[in-house]
Amino acid sequence: MTKKKRVFSGIQPSGELHIGNYLGAVKNWVELQEQYECFFCIVDLHAVTQPYEPEEMPARVFDMALTLMAAGLDPEKCTIFVQSHVPQHAELAWLFNTVTPIGELERMTQYKDKASRQESVLAGLLNYPVLQAADILLYQAELVPVGEDQVQHVELTREIARKWNGRFGEYFPEPEALVGEVRRVMGLDGQAKMSKSLGNTIGLLESPDEIWAKLRPAVTDPARVRREDPGNPFVCNIFSLHRHFSSPADIAWSEHGCRTAGIGCIDCKRRLADNIIKELDPIRERAMELKRHPERVAETLERGAEHCREIASSTMQEALARMGLRGGGPKVKGR
């Protein structure tokens, strides 16, 4: 049997997921776990590069783990763990810092964006992508499923692998980004990408009533002012959500009804709400079950970290040895 390729991805512990994260990332992960050896990491060491409240962090991490499991990540099929439970992430990041040009880090779009909004820019924010490279390469992962915004970081990971290998011998693979089909889910305001900080989200665990309360007033085609006005579904975010959640028949119904003013926006939204609720129902059910059994989440994370520490320790042994550290010399290279 050929060895399964390794997949690695990470997500910030933001607490609850929204349908943008779900469609853009987590839904793909659920499919990938069937085919590959997958590692999914809750990146708390990355999260502390932004202002935060220490007392809130444990709940943010726990809720993210619970939501990922509810969304369909199965601890029997993949490894789910918390970054800070595996100390080698920070250790390898330090080694990679020594081969990473500052100029490359300063070019990163996400860094520039975040740094421009801060008065005093901390080193952790600049070095964020180095830690991300360590996350991926600690497991020698070859595939990295991420949103479009993370492709640049995966490119940098390849470069760090190349630079390190060039100096210390071929060891780390150059991973590839896997960008899913759903690149950008717009928020309910129809103005910007769905994002927790903009308050334009539908949470993955929201109840049918909450979902309807958010969808009902959501922005549609602004040119369709009255019920009798025909609309243009292709400028309407409700229609784009139909394309993510509805059957081909319902999508055709919405498109035709909108163009001919055969249906009103409220009819269209109600059908969408029903379809979203249908897809999210089993996720919410599983989440409620896990909330009754929090020990299942805790055990999953413990087992995950244990498995990861084993792999991580073997990678570190080799990497340190090749760098002439911890008393080791290069094992490979035919000596």
Q: Residue 75: name the closest of 286, 299, 288, 285 by CA.
A: 299
Q: Does 14 bind ligand AMP (CB under 6 A)?
A: yes
Tell the smallest beta-carbon distance from residue 124 to ligand TRP (Å): 13
Q: What are phi and psi of 78, to 5 degrees?
A: -145, 170
Distance CA 143, CA 150 (A): 13
Nearest Cα to 190, choosing from 210, 160, 215, 227? Answer: 215
Check 193, 214, 278, 291 and give the catalytic one. Answer: 193
Residue 265 Cα distances to 220, 298, 325, angstroms: 7, 44, 65
Sequence-separated contacts (24+) of 114-119 with Cβ below 8 Å: 114/50
Integer Cα distance of 13 and 89 in angstroms: 16
Q: How many residues in the chain?
A: 335
83 interacts with ligand AMP by CB under 6 A: no
Based on the shown chain and the rule CB under 6 A, indicate whether residue 10 belongs to the binding site for ligand AMP.
no
Find the binder of ligand AMP among 194, 204, 297, 312 (CB under 6 A). Answer: 194
**Does the annotation list 132 as a binding residue?**
no
Binding mask 268-307 for ligand TRP (x = CB under 6 A): ----------------------------------------
10 binds ligand TRP, rule: CB under 6 A: yes
CA atoms within 13 A on the CB side of 236: 26
Q: How far is the CB of 229 from ligand AMP (least distance, A)?
A: 28
9 vs 275, beta carbon nearer ligand TRP: 9
Q: Which of 69, 82, 146, 241 binds ligand AMP (CB under 6 A)?
A: 146
The enclosing H or E element of 176 equals strand 176-179
Q: Which is nearer to ligand TRP, 159 or 250 (CB)?
A: 159
Q: Of the residues 77, 114, 163, 214, which is catalytic?
A: 114
Report if residue 304 touches ligand AMP, rule: CB under 6 A: no
Query: What separation in angstroms does the CA of 162 have from each of 12, 99, 144, 155, 212?
Result: 27, 10, 17, 11, 50
Identify whether the C-beta of residue 208 lies closer than 8 Å to the C-beta of residue 215.
Answer: no
Query: Least CB distance from residue 228 to ligand AMP, whole Å?
Result: 33
What are the two backbone dihedrals, phi and then psi, of residue 224, each rounded to the nearest 5 degrees? -90, 90
CB 10 within 8 A of CB 132: yes
Residues 100, 150, 200, 237: which binds ligand TRP (CB under 6 A)?
150
With CB under 5 to 8 Å by kind, the binding choice for 135 among ligand TRP, ligand AMP, none is ligand TRP
Query: Given the rule CB under 6 A, which of 100-108, 114-122, 146-154, 258-266 is the region that contacts ligand TRP?
Result: 146-154
Q: State which of positions 16-75 bind ligand TRP (CB under 6 A).
A: 43, 46
DSSP 10: E
Is 264 annotated as ligand-binding?
A: no
Which residue type occupies 80? I
- Respond yes or no: is residue 5 known to be catalytic: no
**Integer Rg of the chain from CA:** 22
Q: How far is the CB of 129 from ligand AMP (least distance, A)?
A: 14
Residue 240 annotated as lining a ligand binding site: no
Applying CB under 6 A, the residues found at the interface with ligand TRP are 8-12, 43, 46, 132, 135-136, 144, 146, 150, 153
Active site residues: 114, 193, 196
Annotated binding site for ATP: 12-14, 20-21, 147-149, 185, 193-197
